[in-house]
């Protein structure tokens, strides 16, 4: 449903993600900052990759993936022409449409922090904040960030 999607320029660069978060004046928990060496991207079994440079993507921000386990969202990506959103997609959404994050937090389903966690973004005080939690839980009010599988770089 196009009414539940927004176009976003994803600011993916060759330097570390946390530096882009800091440059955008966004927040990151000390817990996540302490685990940045474990930050990665889930390997989609279909081999869908995003470019290693800024790109445009459609991000689905509706409630299709509300209150769902991130691991279950990953498992069903092959059924649709979509891909799981990662930490770069979440950063792009946070910069371009922070108003959407104010409403409900997003699990950044394609991000990984070690073997069993991922990044999520939520609203804290006056800006988006990134933190990490388990991929196995369905957290009330959280939406999984899902994107169109086509990207333009």
Cβ atoms 117, 39 nearer than 8 A = no
Average pLDDT over residues 110-138: 93
pLDDT band of 153, cuts 50, 70, 90: low
Distance CA 39, CA 97 (A): 24
pLDDT for residue 1 is more than 60 = no
Residues 6+ apart with CB under 8 A from 131: 28, 29, 31, 32, 119, 120, 121, 122
Distance CA 76, CA 114 (A): 22
Query: What confidence tens digit (pLDDT) does each residue in 45-62 have?
Result: 888 878 788 989 899 988
In the three-class reduction of DSSP (H, G, I as helix; E, B as strand; rest coil), residue 21 is classed as: helix
pLDDT band of 81, cuts 50, 70, 90: confident
pLDDT of residue 49: 79
In the three-class reduction of DSSP (H, G, I as helix; E, B as strand; rest coil), residue 75 is classed as: helix
CA distances from 76 to 20, 36, 45, 71 (A): 30, 27, 11, 9
pLDDT for residue 79 is more than 90 = no
DSSP state of 1: -
What is 95-122 written as a DSSP string?
HH-HHHHHHS-EEEEEEEETTTEEEEEE
């Amino acid at each position: 449903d196009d009414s539940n999607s927004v176009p976003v320029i994803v600011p993916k660069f060759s330097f570390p993600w946390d530096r882009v978060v800091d440059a955008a004046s966004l927040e990151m928990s000390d817990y996540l900052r302490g685990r940045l060496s474990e930050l990665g991207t889930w390997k989609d079994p279909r081999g869908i990759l995003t470019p290693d440079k800024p790109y445009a993507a459609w991000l689905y921000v509706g409630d299709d993936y509300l209150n769902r386990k991130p691991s279950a969202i990953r498992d069903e990506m092959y059924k649709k022409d979509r891909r799981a959103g990662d930490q770069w997609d979440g950063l792009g959404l946070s910069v371009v449409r922070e108003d959407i994050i104010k409403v409900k937090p997003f699990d950044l389903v394609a991000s990984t922090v070690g073997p069993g966690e991922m990044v999520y973004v939520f609203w804290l005080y006056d800006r988006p904040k990134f933190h990490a939690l388990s991929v196995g839980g369905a957290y009330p009010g959280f939406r999984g960030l899902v994107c169109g599988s086509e990207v333009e770089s």
